[in-house]
A and B are shown apart, each in its own frame.
Chain A
């Protein structure tokens, strides 16, 4: 089967690779471009570990072909920190509030939470839980993930988050 050259803007950089039409976006990112931040968890569009942001939408990249994202603007976990390595508010929140244990779900959680906070900068706890309902975590019980997102929302609004991690 012939290869197609697929280009997109990833974390602000134009990138491309020649792939088959059947190449999934997650494989394109991980294997063709070496961006291994997004993880493959269930491979059945349930767990959300492969979540990346495609043109302002949180997408499970195991359920989209790379060709479908041709020309898109993509954000992955590698693009969250500043150029100087300074952590984003969400990354800092996950560190400060112990929003991860094994860390497998974290790239997907953070990219999903990023879009959630773009759309709703001041979400209630319930809106956060609904917002991340497509991302599974088998370690934390979600309490500290919710707090990490609350921490980031507060920080982005210039406020101090006073609750402690559990």
Chain B
């Protein structure tokens, strides 16, 4: 499969990227790891006339702590996320999630920026970013602005990013020490998108859940923030009826399409099952 013709650009700085996007036709596309875009180009579902490669922009790389936030450059790969000691120490759910994305080869190239920016509801990082309360840093011709992950996704492949804007970094508030975490993903095989998946971050106080956030992957037109499911477990010790209520609340907001992974009813049900499993595992990991 041969993609359509395009002109290739490899800017060396973020300001150059923004300037290029301003000059080029509106069908110019950014390429990060390329593992969503290049397959689309090979199928001619995407036929950009210009490709702007972000690989030569050093300011988009790296993971660092800044105040109470972890700043992850958009071009940080899934492989680098898995290997990051800083993330393992402060937000290990990022490693657990990255490890179930695609396969080793794809993780060497696939980036967090590419995973969250394009609005593919099958991607795993958007639900996690919603769960963590992350913020996306968007750079455009008029400067930088912040958009909360929970406000970023509008519909499949439609996001709050304006034409000409680049996602430069994600900022994740450092979860409290002793927090519980889990990402549960049901998939048919290595490399598959989730049949359903759930991310959970929670904290305990005196043996009961003090705070909780839940996000769902691939069971709707966008990643979903499951506020009601999370609220239903706060103040409890997560007994069986509470778990069942949380699972039902997650299932209730899921609107998956029927596909090769199962019927819509089955996948919505699995959103609940993944939520219950992730809650159980997060609780076991949390310390009061």
Contact = CB atoms under 8 A, between A and B. Distances in A.
Interface of A: 1, 4, 20-22, 24, 43-46, 48, 51, 57-60, 63-65, 67-68, 112, 116, 130-134
B197 to A, nearest CB: 18
Nearest to B192: A46
B3 A22 contact: yes
B79 interface: yes
A110 B268 CA distance: 41
Given A21-B51, A57-B79, A133 B7 contact: no
Contacts of B104: 58, 112, 116, 130-134
Contacts of B41: 22
Given A45-B106, A64-B38, 6 more contacts: A21-B8, A22-B2, A24-B2, A57-B108, A133-B103, A134-B102
B105 A51 contact: yes
A134 B190 contact: yes
Interface of B: 1-8, 10, 31, 34-35, 38-39, 41-42, 51, 53, 55, 79, 102-106, 108-109, 190-191
A94 B108 CA distance: 25
A150 to B, nearest CB: 18
Contact of B39 (A45, A67, A112, A131): A45
Contacts of B51: 21, 65
Contacts of B35: 45, 63
B49 to A, nearest CB: 10
B4 A63 contact: no
20 contacts: A4-B8, A21-B6, A22-B6, A44-B42, A45-B106, A46-B191, A48-B105, A57-B79, A57-B109, A59-B108, A59-B109, A60-B106, A63-B35, A64-B34, A65-B38, A65-B51, A67-B8, A67-B10, A67-B53, A133-B190
A48 B104 CA distance: 10
A6 B255 CA distance: 47
Of all A-B residue pairs in the complex, the 6 with the closest CB atoms, nearest first, are A134-B103, A21-B8, A57-B108, A1-B5, A133-B190, A134-B105
A48 B107 CA distance: 13
A134 to B, nearest CB: 3
A130 B109 CA distance: 17
Contact of A22 (B4, B79, B109, B191): B4
Question: Which of B34, B42, B108, B190: most chain A Cβ within 10 A?
Answer: B108
A112 B105 contact: yes
A24 B39 CA distance: 11
A20 B105 contact: no
A71 B209 CA distance: 53
Nearest to B10: A67
Contacts of A130: 104
Contacts of A67: 8, 10, 53
A46 to B, nearest CB: 6
Contacts of B102: 134
A150 B66 CA distance: 42
Nearest to A61: B105
